[in-house]
Amino acid sequence: MTDSLNIAESVREGERRLRVKRRWRWFGFLLIILVVIVAQFFANFLLRPPSSLYAFDGTAWNEIMLPENEAPSQVTTTNDGSVWVSTLSDCGFLRYREGNWSECSGNTGAANDYQNGTSLVATHEDDIWAVYDNSILSFDGTSWKPYDNVLPNMGVNDIEASDLGVFIIDWYGNITRFDGNSWTTQNAANVLPIPPLGGYGGAASLTKTIDGTIYVAYNSNIYSYDGTQWKLVPSPQGLNEFKRFFG
């Protein structure tokens, strides 16, 4: 009887040890996966090759190295010859002019609360206009200035700027304009000559022409703004969707 009890107890002990061994085996396996993921993350960050821009001078392409650990999100230029880069880091904006990079905009006073996330940018002369959540950040050639909470929501689709002002259209069909003094927002259905189909502006985009006229492509129609009113512009017959829109 005692031997039977000892055998049963030994079997149970063996099964318990086997379960513990299996748990440790799985724990070790998961730990190895975690170590590999962490190592790969740091390897990508530390060993990431430096980012570059390439400028064409009319004859050849020239490489412009970005500052260490910076990668471009969007690139644009202004009339003074500056190249502006919105970065994927807390740096914010970088300005390249006359062979040198500027300090990060995230370290320059008013711009330090708008370090990344500025993925939509418009330029007018030497000015930069950028969307950040439901706020606008501008650079007038000398300093940065924020316009906090001037947009009705964070779902911005596009931005453009000219002598007629700064224009933003959002996912919900709202057109916001800055005339140099104040910001106003109107729904596209209330200002465009032909009410757009539906109330969703996700397919909308803005552009401008050399004379400063602002154009919006919205729900298969094109409209122009001359400083006074929006007008319907004839579009190609059969065109029912815009992929890209350029002035």
Secondary structure tally for the chain: helices H, strands E? 2, 18
Domains of the chain: 70-233 (2.120.10.30)
At residue 40, does pLDDT exceed 50? yes
Question: How far apart are the C-alpha atoms of 122 and 117, rounded to whole Å?
Answer: 15
Cut 0.85: pTM above it: no
Q: What is the pLDDT of residues 82-105, one digit of tens each?
A: 888 887 777 778 888 888 888 776
Do the strands 100-101 and 120-124 form a parallel or antiparallel pair, or are they unpaired? Answer: unpaired
Pairing assessment for the beta strands 61-65 and 52-56 based on DSSP bridges: antiparallel
In tens, the pLDDT along 184-202 reads 999 888 888 876 555 555 5
What is the mean pLDDT of the segment spanning 123-142? Answer: 83
Per DSSP, the three-state class of 111 is helix
CA distance to 42, 151, 226, 231, 238, per residue, from 215 (Å):
45, 20, 9, 9, 20
